């Protein structure tokens, strides 16, 4: 099934010097490709530097893109018949693999045509495929997914990692998460010297699991080489706090915390709506407070913090929420663009290599276990 060139003139492929190229998997999200293309159009309208390679069924994508003026001449479509569904297990995905839009989106990053990839698809499948095709950065044992968390900090967000790439993490993995998270905060948020905290059940040094005590020492010893400050152990209540910028944890704990936070915010939101719907008086008040309530909603809007970054691979991959709408997709694309533009990938690779060397030296001198 190929496109009719009369109806769908092949868009001009992006070339070097054309700006920043983002590879977009148009399929696999809960709302289908039209929402992804709408998000791309939002980004393109605001950002003259951005270009796309977009992956999925040629005909459908040509049609959707053809309707968006902002995207004219800025997209290169790569045909892919297959879609990774939310129900697919990572093992199945790797078998059917190469015919999918997800695989194709990663290939554009692998081949150097695009600087970063964005997908709304199945997280487990995307991580498994990214590991297979992009491979881990030298020196990284476990890649991580970093998310943004609304916070009291001036930048408005804190970073937490890992939120679900791997359910395990030993002390060295946690050190690497600290280095990668610091690099992300520097390049994605412009924080020159990010403050790192290690998530635990108390802030006292004697608390928590053995790997956390060891990671506590490893991270404390890496502040100079990693150019970050270390605030020590932090608790669940510190995730939105202004005493820390980056929270390091294993993927099991991070995923539970992320979903707990989302669930709590949603619950309070529901209660708030109930409260205002309760009486004529409160409905009137809600009308008066509309602007303020909208500001509040914007501040805690999960769409604004849409985009989990896969860290520790040879290439930048942004995972957008499966249920993201156009605004959410656009936020994920913006994040990919910001990181691509900052040269994040090369800086991260350098940082990890340096950290691995420093950690090795510390280990050699016997300082780690002491």
What is the binding site for its own copies (CB under 8 A)? 89, 150-152, 164, 167, 199, 201, 206, 208-209, 235-241, 249, 251-253, 255-272, 274-276, 278-279, 281-282, 284-289, 291-293, 295-296, 299-300
Cα(58)–Cα(54) distance, rounded to whole angstroms?
Answer: 9
- Closest contact distance (angstroms) between CB of 219 and its own copies is 18
- Closest contact distance (angstroms) between CB of 150 and its own copies is 7
- Closest contact distance (angstroms) between CB of 161 and its own copies is 15
Beta carbon nearer to its own copies, 19 or 232: 232
- Closest contact distance (angstroms) between CB of 193 and its own copies is 24
DSSP string, 64-108: HHHT-GGGTTSEEEEE--B---TT--HHHHHHHGGGBHHHHHHHH
- Closest contact distance (angstroms) between CB of 275 and its own copies is 4
Burial of 185 (0-12, 13-18, 19+ CB in 10 A): buried
Cα(328)–Cα(324) distance, rounded to whole angstroms?
Answer: 5
- Closest contact distance (angstroms) between CB of 252 and its own copies is 6
Cα(29)–Cα(245) distance, rounded to whole angstroms?
Answer: 30
Bridge partners of residue 23, in order along the sequence? 53, 117
Beta carbon nearer to its own copies, 67 or 209: 209
- Closest contact distance (angstroms) between CB of 100 and its own copies is 20
Beta carbon nearer to its own copies, 98 or 242: 242
Q: In what order do the strands lie in the sheet with 20-25?
A: 75-79, 50-56, 20-25, 116-119, 316-319, 308-311, 144-150, 157-161, 246-248, 195-199, 229-234
Enter the DSSP assignment of 201.
S
Listed residue (249, 119, 122) closest to 181, CA to CA = 249
- 248 preceded by a cis bond (ω within 30 of 0): no
Beta carbon nearer to its own copies, 113 or 262: 262
Strands 144-150 vs 308-311: parallel, antiparallel or unpaired: antiparallel
- Closest contact distance (angstroms) between CB of 215 and its own copies is 14
Q: What angle is formed at CA 144 by the lines to CA 77 and CA 325, rounded to 5 degrees?
A: 45
Beta carbon nearer to its own copies, 98 or 297: 297
- Closest contact distance (angstroms) between CB of 270 and its own copies is 7
Beta carbon nearer to its own copies, 57 or 308: 308
Beta carbon nearer to its own copies, 253 or 362: 253
Bridge partners of residue 148, in order along the sequence? 159
219-255 b/e (C-beta count within 10 Å ≥ 16 → b): bebbeebbbbebbebbebebbbbeebbbbbbbbebbb
Beta carbon nearer to its own copies, 169 or 339: 169
Residues in the chain: 370
Cβ atoms 177, 164 nearer than 8 A: no
Bridge partners of residue 318, in order along the sequence? 118, 309
Beta carbon nearer to its own copies, 42 or 250: 250
């Amino acid at each position: 099934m190929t496109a009719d060139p009369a109806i769908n003139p092949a868009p001009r492929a992006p070339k070097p010097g054309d700006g920043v190229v983002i590879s977009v998997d148009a399929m696999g999200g809960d709302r289908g490709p039209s929402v992804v293309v709408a998000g791309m159009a939002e980004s393109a309208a605001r950002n003259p530097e951005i270009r796309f390679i977009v992956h999925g069924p040629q005909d459908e994508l040509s049609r959707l893109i053809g309707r968006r003026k902002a995207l004219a001449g800025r997209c290169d479509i790569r045909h892919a018949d297959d879609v990774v569904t939310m129900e697919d297990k990572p093992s199945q995905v790797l078998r059917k693999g190469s015919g999918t839009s997800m695989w194709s989106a990663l290939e554009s990053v692998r081949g150097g045509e695009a600087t970063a990839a964005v997908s709304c698809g199945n997280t487990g499948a995307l991580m498994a495929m990214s590991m297979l095709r992009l491979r881990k950065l030298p020196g990284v044992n476990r890649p991580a997914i970093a998310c943004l968390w609304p916070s009291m900090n001036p930048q408005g967000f804190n970073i937490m990692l890992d939120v679900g790439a791997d359910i395990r993490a030993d002390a060295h993995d946690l050190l690497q998460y600290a280095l990668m998270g610091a690099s992300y905060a520097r390049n994605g948020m412009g924080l020159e010297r990010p403050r790192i905290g290690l998530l635990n059940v108390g802030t006292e040094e004697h608390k928590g699991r053995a790997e956390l005590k060891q990671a506590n020492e490893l991270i404390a010893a890496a502040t100079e080489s990693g150019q970050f400050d270390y605030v020590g152990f932090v608790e669940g209540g510190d995730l939105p706090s202004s005493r820390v910028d980056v929270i390091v944890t294993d993927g099991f704990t991070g995923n539970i915390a992320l979903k707990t936070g989302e669930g709590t915010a949603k619950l309070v939101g529901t209660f708030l709506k109930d409260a205002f719907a309760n009486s004529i008086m409160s409905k009137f008040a809600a009308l008066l407070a509309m602007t303020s309530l909208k500001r509040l909603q914007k501040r805690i809007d999960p769409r604004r913090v849409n985009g989990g970054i896969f860290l520790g691979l040879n290439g930048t991959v942004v995972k957008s929420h499966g249920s993201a709408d156009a605004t959410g997709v656009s936020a994920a694309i913006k994040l990919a663009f910001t990181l691509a533009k900052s040269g994040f990938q090369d800086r991260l690779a350098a940082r990890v290599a340096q950290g691995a060397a420093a950690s090795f030296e510390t280990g050699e001198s016997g300082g780690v276990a002491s």
